[in-house]
Structure 1
Amino acid sequence: MLNVLSILIGLVALVLAIPSAVPLLGWGNWLVLPFAVLGAGIGALSSKNHGRNFCLVVLLIAAIRLSIGGGII
């Protein structure tokens, strides 16, 4: 059950991260990072790794996009 919840949180984070890839909307990644960390934490409590790994990938994508924009853009 925790794995499914982690995947759902990761999907919400991914849906928020997609528009944040557009220039001048990079600030949205600051909203994505806590969701992805929360999902990864819940996924770590699960017996399976799929949800945790998915949230970590979303976290990595958001962090890279945020670092490219200098943390703001």
Structure 2
Amino acid sequence: MLNILSGFIGLVTLIMMIPAVFPFLGALNWIFVPMALFGAFIGMFSSKNGGRNFCLIVAAFGALRLFMGGGLI
């Protein structure tokens, strides 16, 4: 059950992260990366790793976008 919840949090975060790819909206990732990490934290308590790994990939994508934009753009 926690694996499904973690995957759902990752999916919702990924969908909400789509506008943050556009210029001048990259600062939204300061909100979305912790949400994905929270999903990974929930997935850590599951016996399976799929939801946790998906959330970590989403968080890495958001962190990469923050790095490329200098944290603001």
Q: Is 1:32 equivalent to 2:32 in the alignment?
A: yes
Structure 1 residue ranges (4+ consecutive) displaced by more than 6 angstroms after TM superposition: none
Counterpart residue number, 2:51: 51
- State the 1:16 CA deviation: 1.5
- Measured in 2, the distance between the counterparts of 1:38 and 1:70 equals 23
Q: Distance in 2 between matches of 1:25 and 1:16?
A: 12
Structure 1: segments with no counterpart, 5+ residues? none
Tell me the percent identity: 56
1:1-73 alignment runs, 5 A limit: 1-73=1-73
Aligned length: 73
Q: Is the 8 A contact 1:16 1:28 kept in 2?
A: no
